[in-house]
């Protein structure tokens, strides 16, 4: 089976519709392949899919596969409370007594187990459907546990796996409880492939119940969050016929860190008022529908896919080795954006630190990995680290220019580099559990000074000795995995005096980020310092007079967009961005201003009412956008877009918190 990655797609959320739950047995003609024999369907629909409340696809509700979990115990004629093919992900093991039914929900409990051979073990839990199933729509309402173990909803057959989600509610490493991570895996005789994707929901998934939907069909695999389409994978290149059981479980992931005893406790839930145990994964229901109506692609409007840019900081100093104590004061970032393999493929993790002086940029990559496989034939196809540098920080989609380069270091002490790389020095120190690489990169003609910013990214490649190859890739910033050919999706590295000075670079509360947002001084270049054209059209900027006031005029010769990067924002802070604007010509269809931050990977017309995207009219009008930074992402972008030769006028730019 060939799967082609498409854009993550968004449509407006739909509302939930349900009817009285009275099940009457009937057996309509449902021709979906590889469904259970003698599958029974409801005569009248007790529920409709949250993704299709108007039932445009003529869905039939499966009584055989659906379960509201309203009994006193788990229905063991439908479910196993174990997995006959797997005992669990070490060091966690499935326990039958970890499965219970209460208040109309299945609860899968995780917890501490014994210490064996000096290693802490964990109790996990699972349920797996006895029936195997195929094409259809599957919807589960669940609440994620609040520990560093997964709450997972997935399907696994002989040659194919769909991970609807594998959420880690309180990861010990780079915790992001808002992330909805999904994946798909091909196995079989062909080279195994994985298709990971992460969607930021913007809400803590451990606090309340949410509805997760999977539409599985011969042309597309679609994922939904609370009725909203968030992902489409096309499967039409060669139709496949794979059936599998429905699985819910909990697992440990070494890459996310293991929970501690103090992480497991009972408290009063502020939303429901009930006593809640942090290690419990709650499943309210699983509902299944089948149909003969062909799959469709929704009308999704115009969209522009954009990267997101994190900013990290290099402190001043001159470290001499891997173990220099100066590294204790440096800022650490983690490679947590998975672009290949999925979370379950990673048994390693990496932190990267940077230090600078007038002559060199120093990088320390610290990798925790108990299985270090260095490929002696294909150097990239195993355990290694790639470091990416763009001293010009142009942020364009073009191929590498003269100031772009990469450096690769391996745990066995070898290295490789792009042809543009300067003569660098490096040192790698390995042990049975980790390897650390110290890289010393000369600045060359680049003027290294406090406040300077370069493009930067770090890539962790996970190799497995048993498989003899690389099975996973993760980045610090990029979520596309194409930094090896373009620095467009690399992050930002800013040079600072020390960690204490980072906060001094943040504009104080109540103060406008823009020193001259009214453009009274035509010589003020602040706004143009981080201006990037990301399209084929030629854009220009000029301070002009309109109605007796100086304003900014942004012109283009054809369709495209420009972006202005705003650095040194305060972490975990809500900002308000406001401005006055008008477009030059009424006939221009698209003339827009958008504010993009860490979780806005896609901007389209459907997002206009969420305050991120503003379509500009012909009369002067004030617009306002709010957004919030996170712990690591302290930059944002203003994007100005046109669909043709056009001009936008802007005045009174203001960014405050």
DSSP 276-328: EETTEEEEEEEEEEE--SPP-------EEE-----EEEEEE----STT-GGGG
Q: How far is CA 293 from CA 32, 49, 134, 559, in A?
A: 10, 15, 15, 38
> Distance between the two ends of the chain, CA-based, in angstroms?
50
Q: Given this model, what pLDDT does residue 188 score?
A: 66
Give me the mean pLDDT over the 7-32 stretch.
33
- How far is 71 from 67, CA to CA, in rounded Å? 10
Instruction: Give the C-alpha separation, 369 to 349, whole Å.
Output: 7
- Which one-letter DSSP state was computed for residue 427? E
Instruction: Please report the pLDDT score of residue 528 as a whole number.
Output: 61
Query: How far apart are alpha carbons 548 and 518 in whole angstroms?
Result: 12
- Report which DSSP code applies to 502: H
- Which helix (H) or strand (E) segment holds residue 495: the answer is strand 491-495
**Fold entry, domain 4-290:** Jelly Rolls (2.60.120)
Rounded Cα distance, 487 and 493, in Å: 13
Strand partners, 165: 153
Q: Where are the beta strands (DSSP E) in 187-302?
A: 193-194, 197-200, 210-216, 220-225, 228-234, 246-249, 266-268, 275-277, 280-290
How far is the C-alpha of 256 from the C-alpha of 424, rounded, in Å? 32
Two tokens, residue 104: 């109309």
Fold of 311-500: Immunoglobulin-like (2.60.40)
Question: How far is the C-alpha of 376 from the C-alpha of 407, rounded, in Å?
Answer: 17
**Is residue 259 over pLDDT 60?**
yes
What tokens appear for 129 in the block?
């459907």
Q: Which residues on neighbouring strands pair with residue 93, listed in sequence order?
A: 123
- As a whole number, the mean pLDDT across the chain is 84
For the record, the structure tokens of 481 come out as 């995995």
Do 651 and 549 contact (CB within 8 A), yes or no?
yes
Contact between 503 and 322 under an 8 Å Cβ cutoff? The reply is no
Distance CA 648, CA 616 (A): 8
Domain boundaries of the chain, sorted by first residue: 4-290, 311-500, 526-656
What pTM was estimated for this model as a whole?
Answer: 0.65
Instruction: Report pLDDT digits (tens) over 371-407.
Output: 999 999 999 999 999 999 999 998 888 899 999 999 9
- Sorting pLDDT into bands at 50, 70 and 90, what band is 1? very low
Whether the CA torsion 25, 30, 34, 37 is positive or negative: it is positive
**Greater confidence, 600 or 235?**
235
- The band of 317, judged by pLDDT with boundaries at 50, 70 and 90, is very high
**How high is the pLDDT of residue 613?**
66
Distance CA 342, CA 197 (A): 8
In sign, the C-alpha dihedral spanning 563, 569, 571, 573 is: negative
The answer to whether the beta carbons of residues 205 and 167 sit under 8 Å apart is yes
Contacts of 321 (CB under 8 A, 6+ apart): 427, 438
Residues with Cβ within 8 Å of 71's Cβ and at least 6 positions away in sequence, in order, are 101
Distances (CA, A) of 238 to 235, 363, 515: 7, 45, 57
For residue 98 the two structure tokens come to: 């970890």
CATH architecture type of domain 526-656: Sandwich (2.60)
More confident residue, 642 or 527: 642
Whether residue 358 has pLDDT greater than 90: yes
Q: Residues, the chain, total?
A: 657
Range in 261-270, 343-352, 468-477, 611-620 the model is least confident about = 611-620
Q: What is the pLDDT of residues 459-480, one digit of tens each?
A: 999 999 999 999 999 999 887 7
Look at residues 501, 513, 457 and name the one whose alpha carbon lies nearest to residue 657.
513
Under the banding of pLDDT at 50, 70 and 90, the label for residue 14 is very low
Whether the domain at 4-290 and the domain at 526-656 fall into the same CATH topology: yes
């Amino acid at each position: 089976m060939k799967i082609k990655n498409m854009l993550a797609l968004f449509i407006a959320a739909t509302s939930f519709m349900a009817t009285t739950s009275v099940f009457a047995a009937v057996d309509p003609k449902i021709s979906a392949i590889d469904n259970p024999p003698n599958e029974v369907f409801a005569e009248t629909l007790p529920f409709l899919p949250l993704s299709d409340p108007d039932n445009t696809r003529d869905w039939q509700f499966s009584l055989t596969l659906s379960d509201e979990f309203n009994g006193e115990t788990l229905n063991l004629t439908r479910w196993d409370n174990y997995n006959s093919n797997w005992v669990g992900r070490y060091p966690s093991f499935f326990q039958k007594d970890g499965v219970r039914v209460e208040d109309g929900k299945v609860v899968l409990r995780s917890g501490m187990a014994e210490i064996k051979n000096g290693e802490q073990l964990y109790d996990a839990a699972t349920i797996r459907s006895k029936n195997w199933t195929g094409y259809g729509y599957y919807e589960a309402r669940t609440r994620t546990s609040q520990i560093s173990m997964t709450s997972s909803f997935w399907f696994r057959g002989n040659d194919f796996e769909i991970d609807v989600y594998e959420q880690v509610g309180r990861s010990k490493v780079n915790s992001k409880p808002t992330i909805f991570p999904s994946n798909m895996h091909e196995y079989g005789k062909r080279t195994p492939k994985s298709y990971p994707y992460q969607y930021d929901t913007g809400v803590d998934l451990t606090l309340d119940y949410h509805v997760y939907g999977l539409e599985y069909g011969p042309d597309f695999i679609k994922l939904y969050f609370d009725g909203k389409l968030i992902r489409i994978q096309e499967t039409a290149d060669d139709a496949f016929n794979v059936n599998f059981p429905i699985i819910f479980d909990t697992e440990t992931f070494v890459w996310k860190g293991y929970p501690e005893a103090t992480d497991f406790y009972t408290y009063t839930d502020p939303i429901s008022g009930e006593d809640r145990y942090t290690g419990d994964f709650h499943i309210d229901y699983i509902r299944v529908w089948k149909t003969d109506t062909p799959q469709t692609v929704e009308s999704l409007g115009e969209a522009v896919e954009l990267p997101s840019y994190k900013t990290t900081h290099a402190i001043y100093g001159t470290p001499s080795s891997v173990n220099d104590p100066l590294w204790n004061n440096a800022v650490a970032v983690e490679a947590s954006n998975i672009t290949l393999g999925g979370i379950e493929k990673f048994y390693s993790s990496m932190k990267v630190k940077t230090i600078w002086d007038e002559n060199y940029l120093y990088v320390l990559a610290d990798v925790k990995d108990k299985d270090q496989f260095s490929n002696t034939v294909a150097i990239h196809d195993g355990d290694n680290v790639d470091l990416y540098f763009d001293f010009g920080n142009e942020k364009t989609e073009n191929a590498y220019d003269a100031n772009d380069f990469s450096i690769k270091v391996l745990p066995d002490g070898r290295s490789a580099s792009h042809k543009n790389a300067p003569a660098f020095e490096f040192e790698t120190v390995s042990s049975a559990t980790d390897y650390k690489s110290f890289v010393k990169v000369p600045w060359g003609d680049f003027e290294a000074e406090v406040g300077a910013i370069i493009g930067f990214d770090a890539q962790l490649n996970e190799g497995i000795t048993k498989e003899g190859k690389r099975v996973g890739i993760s980045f610090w910033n990029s979520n596309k995995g194409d930094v090896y050919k373009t620095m467009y999706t690399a992050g930002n590295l800013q040079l600072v005096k020390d960690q204490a000075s980072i906060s001094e670079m943040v504009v104080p509360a109540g103060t406008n980020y823009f020193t001259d947002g009214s453009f009274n001084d035509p010589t003020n270049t602040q706004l143009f310092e981080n201006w990037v054209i990301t399209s084929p059209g030629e854009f220009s900027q000029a301070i002009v007079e309109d109605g007796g006031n100086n304003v900014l005029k942004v012109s283009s010769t054809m369709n495209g967009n420009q972006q202005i990067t705003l650095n040194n924002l305060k972490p975990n802070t809500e900002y308000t961005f406001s401005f006055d604007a008008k477009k030059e010509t009424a006939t221009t269809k698209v003339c827009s201003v958008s504010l993009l931050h860490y979780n806005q990977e896609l901007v389209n017309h459907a997002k206009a009412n969420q305050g991120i995207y503003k379509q500009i009219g012909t009369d002067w009008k004030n617009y306002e956008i709010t957004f919030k930074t996170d712990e690591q992402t302290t930059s944002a972008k203003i994007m100005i877009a046109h669909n043709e030769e056009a001009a936008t006028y802007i005045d009174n730019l203001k960014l405050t918190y």
